Structure 1
Amino acid sequence: MEQAQYVTVNDYESQLLQQQTGWSERQIAERVRAYIVTRGPRGSLIHTAKGSIEIPPAHERRITDPTGCGDAYRAGLIFGLMRDCDWATAGRMASLMGALKIEYPGTQNQRFGYAEFAEQFRQQFGYVLD
């Protein structure tokens, strides 16, 4: 972990990491730029040195296959960071990517453009992406 800038885990993996290291979420967050914990339908938490940000879940239209949702979440997070979004917006982008993915079978079978993604984001979270 000493070479990582960001650590993203689900809530089960977070518990294991804390047990194995003896560190709290706060102590883990102090060692990286951000410690991100996904919590499925409860959204996610982004812990940074400045504090924790609770990210609400995006709501899917249907649940088809959760395979690849964690990867989709990470892709959304990276996309948000590449666009210089703040943590709250990048986290919401990540949440939306996970929700869009779960609607399709397999790992990479969904297709959409940025305009569709931005509209879904506006509908889900009530504000417009830059």
Structure 2
Amino acid sequence: KQLTTDHITTIKGQFTAQAFVTTDIDNNQINAFHPGAMNFAHQNKVSDADGIELGVVAPDGRDAMIQHAEQFYQADIPFFFDPGQGLPMFSGDELLRFCDQATYAIVNDYESQMMVDKTGLSIEEMSERVDALIITRGSQGSRIYVDNQVLEIPSAPIGVAKDPTGCGDAYRAGVLFGLSEGLDWHASGRIGSLCGAIKIEHSGTQNHSFTPDEFASRYATAFDQPFPVGS
């Protein structure tokens, strides 16, 4: 499907946001980031777009994250709170407000501990504020806190790990795809795991690709069950 560019705003005199990630052989990373035009993202409003079924509040300008969460909430549009590297910008009270507004939240294990430290709440207590809380745990898979239970989602087997940058984004894309197809959390989480596994086998954040048949075949091999879409 073609992606619309209707809501891309050009900010004169500003560069597009740029990130430079340096990774060592132990997968330790240092990021250098210039926000540029991203600092003006709050100029875009949720109400500018029609037919939104599911939103994502991801790392963005501080004002944009706060305002877009409020706009999704006021419009009764379900959304993911995915703070990522933007998490340190917010106080404990602000993070709790995000959780109270959001339908779902997703963080990695490091970010989840930061939320615990900032809010003073346990993981279980935070999970009670959203319909589902997802915590990704790298090679250990992920945990989904939903309906008063904890789902353990396995990681998918990989060949050679080349670059972890972007694995979290790939996981999120898989989960969003699964939910958009009406799948349950188990299946959506496994799709996310496989997306992350495929990504880590490639250098760069968007240099990997696969066909639907290739993905379905690898899913069946990884999890010993048929791919739940189109099967």
Taking structure 2 as the reference length, what is the TM-score of the superposition? 0.55
Cα distance in 1, alignment partners of residues 218 and 148 from structure 2: 29
Residue 135 of structure 2: aligned partner = 37
Residue 9 of structure 1: aligned partner = 107
Residue 104 of structure 1: aligned partner = 202
Cα distance in 1, alignment partners of residues 145 and 130 from structure 2: 9
User: How many positions carry a matched residue from both structures?
Assistant: 130
Superposition deviation, residue 21 in structure 1: 0.8
Residue 91 of structure 1: aligned partner = 189
Cα distance in 1, alignment partners of residues 111 and 147 from structure 2: 21
Superposition deviation, residue 82 in structure 1: 0.7
CA contact (8 A) 1:29 1:49 kept: no
Superposition deviation, residue 33 in structure 1: 1.4
Residue 164 of structure 2: aligned partner = 66
Residue 215 of structure 2: aligned partner = 117
Superposition deviation, residue 86 in structure 1: 0.9
CA deviations 1:33-62 (Å, max 9, x no partner) are 111001111111000133110011111111
Identify which of structures 1 and 2 has the higher relative contact order when contacts are C-alpha pairs closer than 8 Å and 6+ apart.
1
**Which secondary structure does the structure 1 equivalent of 2:145 belong to?**
strand
**Which secondary structure does the structure 2 equivalent of 1:78 belong to?**
helix
2:149 counterpart of 1:51: yes
* Runs of 4+ residues deviating >2 angstroms: none
Superposition deviation, residue 114 in structure 1: 1.2
Taking structure 1 as the reference length, what is the TM-score of the superposition? 0.96
**Which secondary structure does the structure 2 equivalent of 1:52 belong to?**
strand
Q: Flag the structure with larger Rg.
A: 2
Residue 21 of structure 1: aligned partner = 119
Superposition deviation, residue 5 in structure 1: 1.3
Cα distance in 2, alignment partners of residues 73 and 96 from structure 1: 8
Gaps of 5+ in 2: 1-97
**Could you tell me the percent identity over the aligned residues?**
48
